[in-house]
Chain A
Amino acid sequence: MRRLLLLALIHASPADDFATKAVPFLKAHCYECHSANDPKGGIEVHEILSTDAAYRHHEFLDRIAEAVKWEDMPPPEDVDVVPDDQERSDFLREIDRIRTTLEKGDFPRQAGRPTLRRLNRDEYSYTVRDLFGVKFLAGHDFPSDGAGGSGFNNTGDALFVPPVLMEKYLAASRKVIDALYASPASLNRTLLARPDDKKSPEQAAREVLTIQGSLAFRRRISDEELNGLIGLFNSRIQRGDDYEAALRSPLQALLIHPAFLFRVEKDQAGKDEWKLDDFELATRLSYFLWASMPDRELFQLADQGKLSDPAVLAAQTERMIADPKFEYFARHFGGQWLGFDDLREVANPDPKRFPEFTPSLRLAMYRESVDFLTHLIRRNRPVLELVHADYTFVNGELARHYGIPGIRGNESQKVELRDPQRGGVIGQASILTATSLPLRTSPVKRGSWILDNLLGTPPPPPPQDAGVLPADDRSSEGLSFRQQLEIHRDKPSCAGCHAKIDPLGFGLENFDAIGRWRDRDVNGKPVDSLAVMPGDITFSTPAELKKLLLSSDELFLKNLARRMLSYAIGRQLEYYDEPAVAELVRELRANDLKAQSLVLSIVRSHPFQYRSANR
């Protein structure tokens, strides 16, 4: 009811510029095709009726603006009335105003509210490892987690607790406790106090559980919680168990406790938003950079209330980046953002066509991407090296795959690249393979990957009757694969988008479906990698494509900032995060694009440090 009233007020508000300046244009030129019934291309314009709605749909509006600006829409061949230049520019100015307002933060701000995050299965494994020192990945047989937000599986909203998972939590807790008790060293590290003349068993257990409970809950354990655990301990003592045995139950309880499995951030009554406390901050920080729990030093600083001090926070961030556990950031953030995680599960090059694609090569490809991203941030390199770099990481097998001489052995090592084609993520076999089909490259997939994963501007979905190309690139009817693709996208309903997608992929045609360099295609013809983009931009090699991407880096930087922020705070970004995103890009530029400055800026940002009552 309140919401309806609010909507009514917004609609009635004479001050709503968007409603008066942009909506008439949408009504006149877009509604016919893009509204509720049969929304073409899945696009529903009719929902954006007010400035408030425009804020919420700002990314969508940007896409509309692009289409209107380049006169792709409304499609001149299909409509009776085409907007004149004045109409177009008025409309675009209004969308521009929305964007500028968002970036400036010139509207009621809020920090956002990530939904309660369960540890995902990787985080669970690493956390248990760090908590009790067990050597195995305790969550290895958990069901895999789906993704939300900007495509990451640490998004609270997309993490569920089905019964099968609870069964596995229970089974894993048994296994972890058994392993703990089987290792005298680990057990001694955990049972930090023992009963003696001055200390009763209960007092000793209290000491142990105060510490282990606080570590497990990533904050000081409450008296109520502690008493409950002591209750478990006492009932086993009463039954005749000895001190060590009696601690089994409370320790097991920690591993299935909601305060352990979920990253709880407290609400503060009566406030619209508030700063996270130091423990909550430590937790956000450690799961962002390590995908695991805070270590002793972070806990100590949090306990002393010092972590939120900007200088301390910056120093800790740097320390954490230097730590070996920072590799998990590269694995999980990088793997999901850039898609090289797909190499582990999804990519399936045909074993007959590509017998060279061995399990060890698969692993080496994955390793390259992880090592590259870890190195880039740890050495504080400019983030544009993601697009192009003159080094990479290979072992002997991958080096042979790339045609790099002189590298032997199984260990991944840094090598200089003299060939300007290969460097940067675009030339990494992991990504080239993950964006190919089993039997051939896919210029469309690679092009979409650049538009979506790198630049954050995903192409719209294909029309329902689009059809798809043959699965194999072995020539049929004497046409090269590229020729077939060009015929296919000759349809007007396809051409608009494919003119932007495909050339990007054509530029990478010198890389085959498992990322090897080739001069000739599978039919023995020279690879045709000439690409012509709208606006008469041409290029023909990966090196030239990279140059093109580097020449205008705003989209890439903004997308990188967005994705990393979303990963850090575990939620989908909302319109009210736009000022923070703009600030991240500004600061990155001000710091010569140094990778760590982005990480630091995120840690300092409003959405990272605050939480609000509403989302």
Chain B
Amino acid sequence: MANIQSNKWSIPRRSFLRGTGATLALPFLDAMRPLMAAGSNQGVPVRMGMLYMPNGVRADRWTPSGKGSDYKLSPILSPLQAHREELLVLTGLQNKASFTGDGHYVKTGGWLTGTTISKTTGSDISAGGISMDQIAARRIGQGTKLPSLELGTEPVATGIDRNVNYTRLYASHIAWKDANVPLPCEINPRVAFDRLFRKRSGTGEKRAADEQSVLDLVQEDARRLQSKLGRADKAKLDQYLDSIREVERRIEQEANSLGAGENLSPELLAKMDQLDKRISKAMGKSSREEELSSRPRFDHGEHCRIMMDLMALAFWSDSTRVSTFMFGNDVTGRNFSFLEGVNGGHHPISHHKGNKDQLDQYEKINRWHVEQYAYLLDRMKELKEGEGSLLDHCMIGFGSPIRDGNSHNPRNVPIVVAGSAQGQLKTGRHLVYEEGTPLCRLWLGMLERVGAKTSSLGDATSPLTGLG
């Protein structure tokens, strides 16, 4: 049975000590206090999570009433009441580059890039630019186990949408390492858990050295091979070489890090163990091996909540500082009949054509997503860190790149940010911007606060004013 305690967590102390000189990424746990200024936020990093909700919202039930700190949450946002003071709801933002193309793919593929994806059924797949989470990963993700963590619940959508001539893979990716490299979401919670928290078994120092020589060799051969290839083929090997370097960085980082069992706080171990057991329970398989190889097909709510718990623990253990989560792929037809009063799939219902009954169902699906978001915020608030909670040191965005799903309206997109990034955001407000303000200005504002200040992104050249 799956149980983390039975597996090899520790790495030899020697290999930790060997790693002097490299950046030490410290888990910001109470157990680590002796290493930090006690009870202080000094050195606690800001983390950023972006949650993607497919298929837009019921527009007339999204926007809060009132402005500034004197605002009242809308029906869809009402599950966030307990977090009202930790929220920024933003109105009036848009991604201009997504106004073209089609109803969905352009909006999703370019949500975090602020660019226009190329219209293609396969060749020259491109988002047009790097996504904001990956800008952050490049800048602040190099000292942690993973530069970034991409999570989701649905496999990459296959095939071509020949109605509109886009490859459906655009619907499944919001994180772009660069314009040409989409990052797939991990959808199996067991695989994600093991990737984050389980030590590779049997990796001794000798084996690590052997593997390093293996990696050296294949890189050398790849470079030699590359010199004989054409442009498009070269680009594929570039990805290969980049990814090997990234894996090397991770191996080195792991060896250097304080991931050794004796340094993990009992509290973190307990949380990991809890989540570990919960994953096994939810997946309902007879062995860990089966969990690893199965398609996650179980209660959607529990699936989403587990993936978000993984995000929270990944942040809390400082395994990564940047993460995205897709509740579903764009255009998902997921059956939401498990909700009282809802009958049917998400995408069909989003095309409500003004029918009152369908609008009600659409609203219920929206509110359900907000409830899950609230769940994540609850969890992050429970996790203590420095002088406050994990949430205090985060910015967790939640939104959709279209407003009304029926008309695919890309103006005034629904977007909320929770967490103050250590007081850098003045939360507890509804900010109303002039219609047409670039969404990318919010992204720039978040990047600045996460420690990855960037001068321009998409159609924005300055961060939003009035955020903090």
Contacts and interface: CB of A to CB of B under 8 A. Distances in A.
Interface of A: 42, 113, 115-116, 118, 136-137, 140-141, 143-151, 153, 155-167, 170-171, 174, 224-225, 228-229, 231-232, 235-236, 248-249, 252-253, 256-259, 261-262, 264, 266-267, 336, 339, 341-342, 344-346, 348-350, 352-353, 437-439, 448, 452, 458-462, 464-472, 474, 476, 571-572, 613, 615
B335 A261 contact: no
Interface in B190-225: 191, 195, 200, 210-211, 213-215, 217-218, 220-222, 224-225
Contacts of B195: 164, 167
A471 to B, nearest CB: 2
Nearest to A139: B293
A571 B232 CA distance: 13
A572 B121 contact: yes
A133 to B, nearest CB: 19
10 contacts: A136-B293, A157-B125, A161-B181, A161-B240, A162-B243, A165-B243, A231-B217, A345-B158, A465-B407, A470-B357
Classify the secondary structure of A's interface with B.
loop
B184 A267 contact: no
Contacts of B184: 143-144, 162, 164-165
B230 A439 contact: no
B214 A256 contact: yes
Contacts, number: 256
B156 interface: yes
A458 B225 contact: no
Contacts of B191: 141
Contacts of B103: 461, 464
B60 interface: no
Interface in B146-186: 147, 150, 154-160, 162-165, 167-169, 172, 177, 180-186
B75 interface: no
Contacts of A228: 217, 220-221
B455 interface: no
B468 interface: no
A166 B162 contact: no
Given A42-B102, A147-B169, A253 B214 contact: yes
Contact of A163 (B124, B160, B242, B333): B242
A471 B239 CA distance: 42
Given A231-B217, A468-B348, A471-B345, A452 B162 contact: yes
A115 B333 contact: no
A115 B232 contact: yes
Contacts of B182: 146, 160, 162
Contact of B181 (A160, A470, A476): A160
Contacts of B165: 42
With a 10 A CB-CB cut-off, give which of A156, A171, A348 has the most chain B CB atoms: A348
A458 B125 contact: no
Interface stretch (B64-72, B244-252, B371-379, B438-446): B244-252
B437 interface: no
B124 A157 contact: yes
A209 to B, nearest CB: 12
B299 to A, nearest CB: 11
A437 B244 contact: no
Contacts of A163: 147, 177, 242-243, 246-247, 250
Interface residues of B, number: 88
Contacts of B246: 163, 166
A149 B344 contact: no
B212 to A, nearest CB: 10
Contacts of A350: 335, 337
Contacts of A469: 348
A470 B157 contact: no
Nearest to A167: B247
A336 B163 contact: no
B344 A471 contact: yes
A449 to B, nearest CB: 11
A510 B408 CA distance: 33
A148 B125 CA distance: 9
B237 interface: yes
B351 A467 contact: yes
A170 to B, nearest CB: 6
A251 to B, nearest CB: 10
B156 A145 contact: yes
Contacts of B222: 258
Contacts of B42: none
Interface in B335-384: 335, 337, 343-345, 348-349, 351-355, 357-358, 361
A576 to B, nearest CB: 14
Given A253-B218, A464-B408, A472-B344, A171 B228 contact: no
B344 A437 contact: yes
A465 B353 CA distance: 8
A428 B169 CA distance: 27
A468 B102 contact: no
B123 interface: yes
A70 to B, nearest CB: 20
A615 B352 CA distance: 44
Given A438-B345, A469-B348, A470-B358, A345 B214 contact: no
Given A148-B169, A151-B159, 6 more contacts: A144-B155, A148-B125, A153-B158, A164-B184, A236-B210, A470-B358
A348 B163 contact: no
B233 interface: yes
A225 B221 contact: yes
Given A170-B211, A572-B123, A161 B168 contact: no
B33 interface: no
Contacts of B169: 146-148, 158
A171 B123 contact: no
Nearest to A36: B100
A146 B188 contact: no
A35 B237 CA distance: 38
Given A256-B218, A460-B163, A467-B406, A143 B186 contact: yes
Contacts of A458: 162-163
Given A116-B237, A147-B169, A248-B210, A166 B243 contact: yes
A144 B233 contact: no
A115 B123 contact: yes
Nearest to B219: A258
B281 interface: no
B301 interface: no
